[in-house]
Structure 1
Amino acid sequence: MRKRWLAPVALALFLPALAGCKIVQIADQEAAAPAGFNATAYAEGLWIEQALPHFTETARPVAEVLPAIVGDLPSAGAEFGYRPGEGSPWSFVVTGTGVVAAKNTESRAGTMEVTVEGLPDPVVLQIGPVIRGNAVRDALPFVSFQDFTNQLEFADAGKALTAIALAATAPISEAIAVGDTVVFTGAISMANASDRLQVTPVVLEKTAP
């Protein structure tokens, strides 16, 4: 008998508390939730109209930029590079033509070595699928940390921009073999002279034999 009256009593105690609450349907909760930062949409929104033209229009000959970086990074930065402020990495946008001397795909951070006339050592291109650093993002003067809510959004924007560049160049790099002649445009990021001197390509083409 005790069990039969416990339920009505418990319900009577619960209803007054419930009366002061607002019940929101699950669909309404999802609609009311603020939308998070969409890094992919952000990157896609500026790639064609701003990012790609910036790379193609501001690129300097890699045969001029690389020796300058090796000789004196701050001087090379002042002449050829960009950085948003003191202490930030120097960014360089370069272009060049050369013959593929090596293609390293054993590591997921794959690279391609391109012999360019006028340079004693091959230019190293990052071909992925893992791309180190944020050279693509950091080379764009219109992508500023101040435009983002926090460091995570800024990092996600960098990953999304790099992903677009990789998606455009990966099918081409896969088809390129040692001995092929290629044309490339890409970005270099250097915080210190001891950093790896690598180009993250945003444009990669195989020329006709």
Structure 2
Amino acid sequence: MSRTPKATPWWRRPVVITPVLIVLLCGAMVQQTTFVGPEGFSSEQAGSSTDEAVALARDGYESTVLPAVTEDPVPLVDVVAAAQEDPEAAGEELGTHEVDGKPYSYAVTATGTVTEGEFGEVALEVDGLPEGITVGVAVPPYGSSTALRDVGLEVQYGDFENQIAYQAVAFELNSLAAEDAFDGAEADDLLGKQVTVVGAITWASSTGGDVTHLQILPVRIEEQG
């Protein structure tokens, strides 16, 4: 989408970003390493500090992340069916992850009706999902999910100076995606409407058990009808 000058969304203002990032990443262990950029980026363009990590996210969002998410997203119902049958095989075929042992993330698309959701999201009622699986669509500022980073950029923790810099990439990508997907609109305006969402998910459980809820980090939201 074209970017025209407009007021900075509240979640992208420094007074909000800095404290939130500190809270999200408090206690992270420092690991001194040399940055190795993802395909399409050189070490001169990127870097291991937090500022350089944010610059990497900004440079790569439109050129790398958006195409990775939007060019060939998998229907969410297909991802769920495959992952429930065999999570590892589904991930190898349809998803991507940082390293072995980490959960897989997927570029997905889903159409459904928007309803009231949990904190930080609206719910999406999607036909064809198995019983016991619910779906939410993240609302700004998207929090600390790494799904967009993991789908769109070939980076790993060891590429960065520390966990704070590594997480800063995800945080900045999430902010850019929120700006694109909502474009200043309020999430409540979508309630009761049928929409098609394109974004990223991670197949993982917040409780450590079976996956029962998926949150889509949208880069595109289109009303239907």
* TM-score above 0.5, yes or no: yes
The one-letter amino acid paired with 1:199 is: I
Residues 60 and 36 from structure 1, CA distance in 2 versus in 1: closer, same or farther, beyond 3 angstroms? closer
Map of 2:104 onto structure 1 = 90
- RCO comparison, higher one (Cα < 8 Å, 6+): 2
Map of 2:92 onto structure 1 = 78
TM superposition shift of 1:141 = 4.2
Instruction: Measure, in 2, the Cα distance between the counterparts of 1:60 and 1:67.
Output: 12
Q: Unaligned 5+ residue runs, structure 1?
A: 1-34
Q: Which sits farther off after the overlay, 65-74 or 190-199?
A: 190-199
Q: 2:214 aligns with which of 191, 197, 203?
A: 197
Residues 97 and 172 from structure 1, CA distance in 2 versus in 1: closer, same or farther, beyond 3 angstroms? farther
The one-letter amino acid paired with 1:148 is: F
Instruction: Measure, in 2, the Cα distance between the counterparts of 1:158 and 1:84.
Output: 13
Map of 2:198 onto structure 1 = 185
TM superposition shift of 1:175 = 5.4
The one-letter amino acid paired with 2:220 is: V
Map of 2:80 onto structure 1 = 66
The one-letter amino acid paired with 2:139 is: I
Query: Does the CA-based 8 Å contact 1:186-1:201 persist in structure 2?
Result: yes
The one-letter amino acid paired with 2:210 is: S
Q: Unaligned 5+ residue runs, structure 2?
A: 1-47
Identity of aligned residues (%): 29
Alignment of 1:84-123 (within 5 A): 84-100=98-114, 102-104=115-117, 107=119, 109=120, 111-120=121-130, 122-123=134-135
Larger helix percent: 1
Query: Does the CA-based 8 Å contact 1:183-1:205 persist in structure 2?
Result: yes
**C-alpha deviations, 1:59-116, integer Å up to 9, x for none?**
111121122223332232122111132112211110122222x1237x3x2x222222
Map of 1:163 onto structure 2 = 175
Instruction: Measure, in 1, the Cα distance between the counterparts of 2:222 and 2:116.
Output: 15
Give RMSD over aligned pairs: 2.5
Map of 2:70 onto structure 1 = 56
TM-score (norm. length: structure 2):
0.65
Q: 1:176 aligns with which of 159, 175, 189?
A: 189
Map of 2:159 onto structure 1 = 147
Aligned residues: 170
